[in-house]
A and B are shown apart, each in its own frame.
Chain A
Amino acid sequence: MSKSAPTISVLTANRLSDGAVVFLDFDGVWVESLRGAVVARTPDETRALESRGAFDAARNVIVEPYLVEMHESADGSLTPVRFRERVRLGGPSILDDVPGYVETPKPAPRAEPVHAEAA
């Protein structure tokens, strides 16, 4: 990564409800895609992002927010600088080989809380 290029970051976290990887977008909404993620290019913007992350963590929307350094290509697309973040963004690399893997569970879980029956 070129040291002369300014570092740009996005804010990421895990959604409290399901732990999914999310990014903060321009509307202040946490979304699963990098596209539309708000980008911080200056120290002030970076600080604003961080405090927004802390705020939303306190509001119990997300957990463990942190900044991810991004590499920006000519067409504006973003790639995480760190290898770990690239893997995190892409999801497990081996899903094709996971036996029985399906994207969504079926059928929907029961609507009422389950109370364990007396033996």
Chain B
Amino acid sequence: MLPPLDGLETEADVRDGARAVSADVGADATIWQNGSFREDTWSAAVDDVALPSTPVIVSKKRWLAERSALTGRNQALGLSLEPGESLDEIAGDLAQFSVIALNFPKFSDGRAFSTATLLREKHSFAGELRAVGNVLSDQIPLMRRVGFDTFEVTHAPTRRALLEGRIAEVRLHYQPAVVTEPPAGTRPWLRRTPG
């Protein structure tokens, strides 16, 4: 019926070709921080599986269930939150966490932008705030502004853009954000991303 397709075999191949993790950067170095990729020093705890004796990130459910045991641990502890998980029950515990990872299961689910804002501004969380999940080029500048410091990135085109310094962003801003930004002129809320 249709002429055969030469070269590329399947639709999946096409997608993967465009998005394959570049061979230049080790696939394990998934954490983007301060201008480079590094390996992740944290692991994600699996609910109901005993914790390793290394830095581990637990879910809110696990934290609430095992709070006293976890507080006693000698290892650094991190917390992961799904969109929609409230900070209310854990507001007093946040200082326990060296890192809080907020998940973006779909890039279009913007709840974590508000959660990040509240963590920084309302709860004065001073630890590492990490964006995980569907983290893409075009959201990273926005994430930075609401207080994320690190980004777990596996999307190949985003990784390439980060490595090549090619994230296209608007560096002028009409509103103050969580992070401190230098003013851009005399109007009260204009800011700019330095650099």
Contacts and interface: CB of A to CB of B under 8 A. Distances in A.
A87 to B, nearest CB: 28
A48 B14 contact: no
Interface string A19-61: 0000010111000000000100000010011011011011100
25 contacts: A24-B2, A26-B1, A26-B2, A27-B3, A28-B2, A28-B3, A38-B1, A38-B2, A45-B1, A48-B1, A48-B2, A49-B2, A51-B11, A52-B2, A54-B11, A55-B5, A55-B10, A55-B11, A55-B14, A57-B11, A58-B11, A58-B14, A58-B15, A58-B18, A59-B14
A54 B18 CA distance: 15
Closest 7 CB pairs of A and B: A58-B14, A55-B11, A54-B11, A58-B11, A58-B15, A28-B3, A28-B2
A50 to B, nearest CB: 10
Contacts of A59: 14
Nearest to B5: A55
Contacts of B5: 55
**Is the interface on chain B under 10, 10 to 19, 20 to 34, or 35 or more residues?**
under 10
A54 B5 CA distance: 13
A92 B144 CA distance: 45
| Secondary structure call for the B interface | loop
Nearest to A11: B2
Interface residues of A, number: 15
Interface in B1-21: 1-3, 5, 10-11, 14-15, 18
Chain A binding site: helix, strand, loop or mixed by DSSP?
Answer: helix
Interface string B1-45: 111010000110011001000000000000000000000000000
Contacts of B11: 51, 54-55, 57-58
A27 B5 CA distance: 11
Contacts of A55: 5, 10-11, 14
Nearest to B10: A55
Most buried by A among B1, B5, B10: B1
A57 B15 CA distance: 10
Contacts of A24: 2
Contacts of A54: 11
Contacts of A28: 2-3
Contacts of B10: 55
Contacts of A49: 2
Contacts of B14: 55, 58-59
